Amino acid sequence: MTAESTTAHPASQPHDRATLGGDLVVACSRFARTAAQAIDVDVSVTMWRMLSNLAHSGDLSVTELAAIERTSQPTVSKMVKRLEAQGLVSRRPDPIDRRSSAVSVTDAGRAALARYRASLTTALAPHLAGLDEDDLRTLDRALDLLARLTSEVADAGPI
């Protein structure tokens, strides 16, 4: 499935290895956005992703968050301020660089993230229920492969 395609890839034809990585990123991003649209929340998908990154990585500076999110520091600062106003993150002076602050997810942020993920699970359940056992096993295997690829790509760093 390329960025331009709008239909599912025929199961009988294997993906081109040369474009598979890009196709995976596009498909995963599209799936995440579509799933998020199926639920009613008051925080953007980008902010949920930022909250998830903080929950996974621990305290991060705005500069580190901007690098992870591949966006500007002013944009991340605005998002952090919104998340902070909602009580989902907190900031404290960075002990190493007092000009910077460390952003961390709060207990309320962790609870909100858990509710968000539960809502996604609920919204997707009827769609997954329509899959046969073979398809469910394939998706389960795909989760394992995506986790492994994510670790490998993260460990390799930028090219």
Instruction: Walk along the chain (159 residues) and give the pLDDT tens digit of each residue.
Output: 444 444 455 566 777 888 899 999 999 989 988 888 888 776 788 888 899 999 999 899 999 999 988 899 999 999 999 999 999 999 998 777 778 889 999 999 999 999 999 999 999 999 999 999 999 999 999 999 999 998 999 888 877
Q: What is the pLDDT of residue 47?
A: 86
Q: Using an 8 Å Cβ cutoff, are 61 and 51 in contact?
A: no
Q: Give the span between the Cα atoms of 13 and 11, in whole angstroms.
A: 5
Could you list the beta-strand ranges (E) of the chain.
60-61, 89-93, 101-105
Residues whose CB is less than 8 angstroms from the CB of residue 1 and which lie 6 or more positions away in sequence, other chains included: 8, 9, 23, 26, 27
CATH 1.10.10.10, domain 42-154, yes or no: yes
Q: What is the pLDDT of residue 93?
A: 86
